[in-house]
């Protein structure tokens, strides 16, 4: 399984929002600047995140995005799934046709790995990732917080 840029950026952007939960709406331009993610890419990701109910948006002055519920209630798997990222280590994407039209010898091994990855990601909330980050980061004079997921 390889997490693509789409999944990594979605998690990073949601972590940025998590740091600001309860502060108010955050603009995509602010996230773009802090995390080094293109604004147009963020717009695409947030359309999916909003459609899946993970973020809400408001327009006008003071508008932007916020988490639709607390960071403790949103898992990393929720975010990855919302942007159509697959958590699948099998070559056949779970269709059991890895070797021609039949299942390959190692299919169950890769399927089990995929299942374990899903369980792991479903067990980690955004709040936990932020907490671990804050606990382990080195003090800095910079005010910009940048996440490097993966």
> Per-domain residue ranges for the chain?
5-137
Using alpha carbons, select from 64, 32, 67, 39 the residue that is nearest to residue 52. 67
Which of 4-13, 92-101, 123-132 is least confident? 92-101
The answer to whether the beta carbons of residues 45 and 80 sit under 8 Å apart is: no
Give the model confidence (pLDDT) of 75-102 as tens digits. 999 999 999 888 777 766 666 666 667 7
Cα-Cα-Cα-Cα dihedral sign, residues 79, 37, 127, 7: positive
- For residues 55 and 134, which has the higher predicted lDDT (pLDDT)? 55
Give the model confidence (pLDDT) of 135-149 as tens digits. 887 665 555 555 665
CATH 3.40.366.10: does it fit domain 5-137?
A: no
What is this structure's pTM? 0.81
pLDDT attached to residue 47: 96
The answer to whether the beta carbons of residues 43 and 37 sit under 8 Å apart is: no
Compute the distance between CA of residue 133 and CA of residue 56 in angstroms, rounded to an integer: 25
């Amino acid at each position: 399984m390889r997490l693509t840029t789409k999944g990594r950026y979605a998690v990073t952007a949601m972590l940025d929002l998590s740091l600001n939960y309860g502060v108010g709406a955050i603009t995509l331009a602010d996230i773009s600047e802090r995390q080094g993610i293109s604004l147009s890419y963020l717009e695409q990701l947030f359309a999916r995140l909003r459609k899946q109910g993970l973020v809400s948006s408001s327009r006008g002055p003071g508008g932007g995005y916020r988490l639709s519920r607390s960071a403790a209630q949103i898992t990393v798997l929720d975010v990855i799934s919302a942007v159509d990222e697959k958590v699948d280590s099998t070559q056949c994407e779970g269709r059991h046709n890895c070797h021609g039209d039949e299942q390959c010898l190692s299919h169950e091994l890769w399927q089990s790995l995929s299942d374990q990855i899903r369980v792991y990601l479903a067990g980690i909330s955004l709040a936990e990732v932020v907490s671990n980050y804050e606990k382990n980061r080195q003090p800095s004079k910079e005010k910009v917080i940048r996440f490097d997921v993966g």
